[in-house]
Amino acid sequence: IVVTGSDDRLWKMWALPDGNVLMTGEGHTDWLSGCCFRPSGTQLVTSSGDTTVRIWDLSRRGCILTFQGHSRGVRGCSWHSSGDFVASASMDSTGKIWDVNSERCRHTLRGHEGSVNSIEFLPFSSTVLTSSADKTLSLWDFRTVSRLF
């Protein structure tokens, strides 16, 4: 199974190798930039040019939570290995750590001078890696919001 997002504002789940569409999600109002499965495989996170990050419940076949807080389009998203946190990278030069359980932004990562284009949690840690259009990479401890590198 693979999930794709597109400029048509939809995400699609495909079966491999036959290529059948298993599920389609709609609700974003601009292009999709990222799709990532929750480690348990029961949910999906998507990021979009509409400045939002959405959580989709695959068994309910719908969006169950929308995170708002970026001022420009969101370029990427990822799940923490615990499944309790989602990270987002935005053209507003920030990254955000979202707490899925409390349904709020836990931290905003500030320090890049250009668009934050990708964000990834290092497995089984509190470290987040961001890459930016300012030609830098940064490592962050998301518990303390301190920049490690």
Domain residue spans of the chain: 2-147
The count of other CB atoms within 10 Å of the CB of residue 132 is 21
- pLDDT tens digits in sequence order for the chain, 149 residues long: 999 999 999 999 999 999 999 999 999 999 999 999 999 999 999 999 999 999 999 999 899 999 999 999 999 999 999 999 999 999 999 999 999 999 999 999 999 999 999 999 999 999 999 999 999 999 999 888 888 77
The hierarchical CATH code for the domain 2-147 is 2.130.10.10
As a whole number of angstroms, the distance between CA 46 and CA 110 comes to 22
